[in-house]
Structure 1
Amino acid sequence: MLHHKSMPYRRLATLTLALVMLVALISACGKKEGAAGGTVIATYKGGEVTEKEFNKYATFQSIMNPQASMYMSIPQIKEQFIKQYIVSKVLIKDISKEEDKKAQTAADSFKKQLEEIMKTEPDLKKLMADGDLSVKEAVAHYKDLAAFQSYYAAKGEELKPTVKEEEIKAEFEKNPSDFNVISVRHILIKTTDPQTGDAVRTDEEALKIAKDVKAKLDAGGDWKELAKQYSEDDGSKENGGLYENQKSGGWVAAFKEAANTQAVGVIGEPVQSEYGYHVMKVESRVAAAYDKLTEADKDGIKTSVASVKLNEFLTAEQDKLEIKVTLPAEPSPSASGSPSASPSASPSASPSASPSASAK
């Protein structure tokens, strides 16, 4: 409940088909036409991408990730998707025959699941039809995704041995408190359902309940009873709200900050996170030191540093391709607009439009 997602890539064994409609992409009149037909929206060394080709990919992404279509309606993010699409398409040519075979096996499994779900989910069929995406094309995209995940993992392992001890220590010293070992009890009063993003109750309502719970605890209330009665954290409510001897680095920011700074043995004021309000009591906290880290801890830091090196490598590969993206211009403001127009009349990003930490 309280942890960040550990990896930005989906496990191939798990398939989530989200039934969402793809945000309509603005048409581009008068642009260059590709050799295979369709508007060219990107060029790179050795090739080009048409709007038709990318729209099919975008439809596939919207099936795999419910938020993809929303993000791709933002020009800057759509441009990044296009660049990532090109880079992955180029790099997967370097995977081994063995990895290619594994990717094909994963794609075959995906095909069976997709076809089964399409029998009972007309919304999915409509999504694919609207995006002009056939089952064969979706399966091909899935194979490419599986192949790139294999490439990404292999390259990360290849870079790990290049990480030096001083780099591991420097990374640790950026956030040493992430390795503090902490035991903390908490009772969560939700404002948001982490699975759906839907509101459960208002901030005011959640804070009032949290303050009432704190008052009961201050008066000598039993943590186990009150956690069972009030806590909405399924991971700890049956255990008196206890997370025992855990490193704080995996917790969401607000909870981690409180766990690292709140006085030991004191029930603090309710702490707000993206999940809601937490009534917290830090029972113990052992500060981390580099020379006390386990080999597993050091290996985790090494993986993190290798990840940065991997992203630098991918950026360099992207630069080598000299990608040029040409997206349609955004619509001009209405002629009726004026400097005195209300700010609410202008498009703006809402807080819910940005990625946030979520439960595992």
Structure 2
Amino acid sequence: MKLLRSPKAYVWAGGLFIIAGILVFATISSTDETMASVDGDKIKKDELYDALVAVHGTDTLNKLIDDKLIKLEADKEGINITDAEIQKEMDILAETSGGEKALMQKLEASGVSIAALKKELVVHLQTKKLIEPRSTVTDDEINTYFKENQNSFAQGEQVEASHILVENEKTAKKVAKKIAKGGVFTKLAAEYSTDTGTAKKGGSLGYFSKGDMVKEFEDVAFELDIDQVSDPVKSKYGYHIIKVTGKKEAKKANFEDSKKEVKAELLSEKSKEVYSKWLAEVKEKHEITNKLEGTK
């Protein structure tokens, strides 16, 4: 997991946070009528419910209907989602959120539990398995897309590095001293690094380009020689000790090297189009009642 990667958004993630306001009702007993009070003036559960529905109700209910349809179709096609698949998506989401700790903070701030997140991931994976087989990309489309977007597939200079992330300067200096005395970087990463996703891999971040990491980190990483270890580097995540393990020079875009990535991008775009059409067709096959938008 690359803790420092610039955050990206899953397309499906918005749906998870839309329903966060409504999820509060899952923990409220039906007998809890008073939710708050100001100088004895009570705010009733129904008042809170009406306010939440007014803001989130239509989007939330439509999403829940879509999720129900997706589950029904996935069951019909014998699609199963494994724990390993869910964990893989969790790892990706943690990476795009700035690390596991950042993800947990984001979930907590939004009032979303891990269980709710995993439930959303199941829907995401079911949708992916339902839609991707219905999406096709031709060789001509791949060739055309590459020619029109060739510059975006050029590879800038890259660095392969590992890091040990700690919370404070005192610990960073302690670890740096151990490395200077011959301590094994990978073992110290496993022992001290708070980036749990990379600690178990000896701190490895793999290869990255400029712009992938926070500036303080990459400014140092791109200046180090192979096998050189940095002094502690401060960023918003804490203090890093960086070791560069490899370098790649910049190179122009190459069709054969980029073909797989081009296909993936085209497939993603087509899947969105196919999904909308597929969902509309599925809705025609089911009797759906939506009291916020009338009855079909």
The TM tier, using the shorter chain, reads: 0.3 to 0.5
Q: TM-score scaled to structure 2, two decimals?
A: 0.46
TM-score between the two structures when normalised by the length of structure 1: 0.39
1 or 2, which has the higher helix percentage? 2
